[in-house]
Every structure is written in C-alpha cells, then in structure tokens.
C-alpha cells in the first residue's frame, strides 16, 4: 500500500511548518504522494514541489477553498490544480482579502468579551503571506491561557454562539468548483462528516456538488471516526464519486493525525488518484 496524503497545511495558511519542512517530515514518515492544500492560497506550492523532488515524493498541487453554502462553511479541496490559472488565482486573492476584514471583526468580538490585543496577538502567528484565520486567534488564546489546547479553545471561542465568532461570506460553491475544474483540477469535498448535515441537506449538497462537476469526497480524514469513514465510503460508492484520503495535518502536536500512514480506503471505493499519471509512475 502506497502512503498517500492529499490534505495538509503549511504556514502559508494555518499550518506550523514551512512547505519544505512539511515535505521533510512527510519523507521521514514514508509518504510517497503528497498534496499541499493550504487554505485559500497556492503560494507554498513551488517551495513544496522543489523539496518533494529532492525527496522523491510525488507532489500534487492542491488548495482548500473556503465556501459558503446555505449559510454554512464548507471546504472544497482542489487537487491537481494549475495554480496560475487566473480565475482561481483571483478568486483566492478575493477570499484572502475577506479573511483580513474578518480578522478585524473577530478581534472586535473578542474585545467585547474582554479579550484585548487579539488582532496583534493572532498576527504574531501569521506567516509571511499574511493569511489569517481562526487558528491564529486560537494559538493566541491558548498562549494567553484562555484555554489549555487547540481543541478546547475552539469549544469555548471562535465557533457559532461563542465569543469571537463572526459570520462570514466565503466563495460560492459554484465558483470554487469552476475555478478548480477550469484550472484542470479535481474538486473534492473535504471532511464531509464535519459539517453535521442532516440526511436531506447532505443529499442536496452531494447532488449540487456533482451537478456542478465536483467528482470526489474525502472518505479518510482525521475529522472522521471509523464509522463515518464507512458511511462516506458508501456515499461515494452509491453516487459514483471518487474517494480521497488526507490527514489534514497542521503541525506536530496540533493535529489528530500526523502526515501519512492513514487507514486504507474501504473496499469498493475508487481512489481520486486512479487515473493520475504521476501516481502511476510510482
Ligand atoms: P478558518 O478557515 O479561519 O475559519 O479556520 C478554520 C480552521 O480552524 C480549520 O482549518 C482548522 O485548522 C481550525 N479548526 C476549526 N475547528 C477546530 C477544532 N475544533 N479544533 C482544532 N482546530 C479547528
Ligand atoms: Mn486549518
Ligand atoms: Mn478544512
Ligand atoms: Mn484542511
């Protein structure tokens, strides 16, 4: 079984490691195919690809796009994208601009809850690209002792109904999928179990996703219990969707899963990589 990981983050978005450090860690752990999928940015791909070449890792250009769908936030992975495709590039830039504004709103909400200095505090964790998200606020809040770790900080803050939450309008599902497919990539619904969608809403999402040209769902994810992996494997099989696997690694000690060494795709799932040339060379 080849060790394949198609979902992880560098410090270009909210991961801890640089793209090159991430590749080194993947190599140490025996990963042979890796996609870097930073949130709403492709700026780490060149560095990661170069490092991967040195380590003999097959590198896949990826991105994780933040989408608003029926008032919820959904993450759509683009795999094998062309990062220079202009509509994708411009779309991601617009999302990042939105993130900057949103960060000010988050800081204002935290201020109301008596937590001062969070914007500067969060930016201290932001990488050179300036992409800011809730994870950076979470790290600041843990640093200041408002919560003991990343898991509990999200329970107490930054989620709906808690201090530091602000609603935000991301890209439309149709836009994200069009950017990905237009750039030659494949659209994948990231960690579908995490959205807690009821049966009907989930069916609507999968219908709409397929109708727009989306072709895969993440079956194996650190966000999924073994039971949820089976449930989404069944959805993939029943709907003729391809199946993907990824750790969603953000950094040592911060993620449920480290890079690679993921459970195998359940039987009957067609892997998202089944027709990739890069993969067949391995
Ligand atoms: P954002 O895109 O700025 O809304 O931030 C979303 C990111 O926050 C996710 O990609 C995770 O990295 C992190 N996150 C969200 N919920 C949790 C959680 N419960 N525990 C740890 N990290 C979380
Ligand atoms: Mn993240
Ligand atoms: Mn995600
Ligand atoms: Mn992710």
- pLDDT tens digits, one per residue of 59-77: 999 999 999 999 999 999 9
On whether both 193 and 266 belong to a single domain, the answer is: yes
Task: Judge whether residue 9 has pLDDT over 60.
Answer: yes
Q: Do 23 and 151 fall within a single domain?
A: no
Of 38, 252, 62, 247, give the one whose Cα is nearest residue 126.
Answer: 38
Q: Are 68 and 190 part of one and the same domain?
A: yes
The residue whose CA is least distant from atom 2 of ligand 1 is 133
Whether 147 and 261 share a structural domain? no
Same domain (yes/no): 147, 230: no
Share of residues in the chain with pLDDT > 70 (%):
98
Atom 13 of ligand 1 has which residue's CA nearest to it? 135
Structure-token pair, residue 159: 């989620």
Q: Percent of the chain scored above 90 by pLDDT?
A: 96
Same domain, 129 and 197: no
pLDDT confidence bin for 237, thresholds 50/70/90: very high
Q: Is residue 164 assigned to a domain?
A: no
Helix axes 45-55, 19-28, angle to 10 degrees: 30
How many whole angstroms from 134 Cα to the centroid of ligand 1? 6
- What pLDDT score was predicted for residue 280? 59
Please give the pLDDT value at position 279: 65
Q: Are residues 185 and 151 in the same domain?
A: no
Query: How many domains is the chain built from?
Result: 2
Looking at the structure, do residues 66 and 113 belong to the same domain, yes or no?
no
Q: Of 113, 134, 158, which residue is a domain's last?
A: 158
Same domain, 60 and 174: yes
Atom 16 in ligand 1: which residue has the minimum CA distance?
154
- Structural domain contains residue 163: no
pLDDT at residue 1, rounded to an integer: 67
Q: Choose one of 10, 12, 14, 105 to mutate for the ligand 1 pocket test, by most ligand atoms within 8 angstroms of C-beta.
A: 14
Q: Is residue 118 part of a domain?
A: yes
Residue 252 vs residues 26, 28, 87, 122, 208: alpha-carbon distances, Å: 12, 14, 34, 19, 36
Task: At 88, list the tokens.
Answer: 């994708």
User: DSSP character for 250?
Assistant: -
Q: Is residue 42 part of a domain?
A: yes
243 assigned to some structural domain = yes
Q: How far apart are CA 224 and CA 221, in angstroms?
A: 5
For residue 252, tell me if it sits in a domain: yes
- Residue 38 in any domain: the answer is yes
Q: Are 242 and 272 in contact (CB under 8 A)?
A: yes
Q: Is the CB of 248 under 6 A from ligand 1?
A: no
Residues 38 and 87 in one domain: yes
In degrees, to the nearest 5, what angle opens at C-alpha 29 toward C-alphas 28 and 31?
105
| Helix H or strand E encompassing 29 | none
Give the mean pLDDT of 108-125: 98
Tell me the CATH number at 211.
3.20.20.140
Dump pLDDT digits (tens) for 140-159. 999 999 999 999 999 999 99
The last residue of one of the domains, among 137, 158, 179, is: 158
In a domain, 242, yes or no: yes
pLDDT score for 256? 80
Q: Which residue has the tokens 């959205």?
A: 195
**Per residue in 22-41, pLDDT tens?**
999 999 999 999 999 999 99
Q: What is the mean pLDDT of the chain?
A: 96
Q: Which domain holds residue 217?
A: 4-92+169-279
Least trusted range by pLDDT, from 54-58, 138-142, 253-257: 253-257
**Residue 37 Cα to chain centre, angstroms:** 6
Nearest residue (CA) to ligand 1, atom 8? 135
CATH number at residue 126: 1.10.150.650
Q: Quick check: CB of 134 below 6 Å from ligand 1? A: yes
Q: What is the mean pLDDT of residues 29-56?
A: 98
* Residues 269 and 178 reside in one and the same domain: yes
* Cα–Cα nearest to 96, from 42, 137, 46: 42
Compute the distance from residue 135 Cα to the ligand 2 centre, in Å. 7
Chain centroid, CA 97 distance in Å: 18
- How many degrees, rounded to 5, is the angle at CA 92 between CA 26 and CA 82? 60
- Report the distance separating Cα 233 and Cα 33, nearest Å: 21
Cβ of 151 less than 6 Å from ligand 1 = yes
Q: Which ligand 1 atom lies nearest to the CA of residue 39?
A: 2
Do 245 and 216 form a contact (C-beta atoms < 8 A)?
no
Q: Give every CB contact of residue 162 below 8 A, 6+ residues apart in sequence.
A: 155, 156
In whole angstroms, give the CA distance from residue 163 to residue 33: 39
At 131 the pLDDT is 98
User: How do residues 80-101 score in pLDDT, each as one tens digit?
Assistant: 999 999 999 999 999 999 999 9
- Give the residue from 122, 160, 128, 161 showing the smallest Cα distance to 142: 122
Looking at residues 155-168, what average pLDDT do you find? 97
* 135 and 176, same domain (yes or no): no
């Amino acid at each position: 079984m080849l060790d394949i990981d198609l979902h992880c983050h560098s410090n270009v978005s909210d991961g801890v490691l640089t793209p090159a450090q991430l590749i080194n860690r993947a190599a140490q752990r025996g990963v042979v195919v890796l996609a870097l999928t930073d949130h709403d940015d492709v700026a780490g791909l060149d560095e990661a690809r170069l490092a991967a070449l040195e380590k003999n890792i097959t590198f896949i250009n990826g991105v994780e796009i933040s989408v608003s769908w029926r008032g919820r936030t959904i993450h759509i992975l683009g795999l094998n994208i062309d990062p220079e495709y202009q509509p994708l590039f411009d779309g991601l830039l617009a999302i990042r601009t939105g993130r900057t504004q949103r960060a000010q709103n988050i800081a204002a909400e935290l201020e109301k809850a008596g937590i001062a200095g969070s914007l500067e505090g969060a930016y201290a964790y932001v990488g050179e690209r300036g992409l800011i998200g809730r994870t950076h606020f979470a790290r600041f809040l843990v640093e200041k002792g408002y919560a003991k770790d990343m898991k509990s900080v999200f329970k107490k803050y930054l989620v709906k109904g808690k201090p530091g939450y602000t609603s935000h309008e991301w890209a439309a599902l149709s836009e994200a999928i069009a950017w990905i497919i237009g750039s030659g990539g494949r659209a994948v619904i990231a960690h579908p179990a995490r959205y807690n969608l009821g049966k009907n809403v989930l069916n609507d999402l999968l219908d709409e996703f397929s109708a727009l040209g989306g072709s895969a769902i993440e079956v194996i994810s650190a966000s999924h219990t073994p039971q949820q992996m089976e449930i989404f494997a069944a959805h993939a099989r029943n709907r003729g969707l391809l199946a993907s696997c990824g750790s969603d690694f953000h950094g040592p000690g911060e993620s449920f899963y480290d890079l690679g060494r993921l459970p195998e795709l359940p039987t009957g799932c067609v892997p998202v990589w089944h027709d990739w040339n890069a993969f067949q060379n391995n």
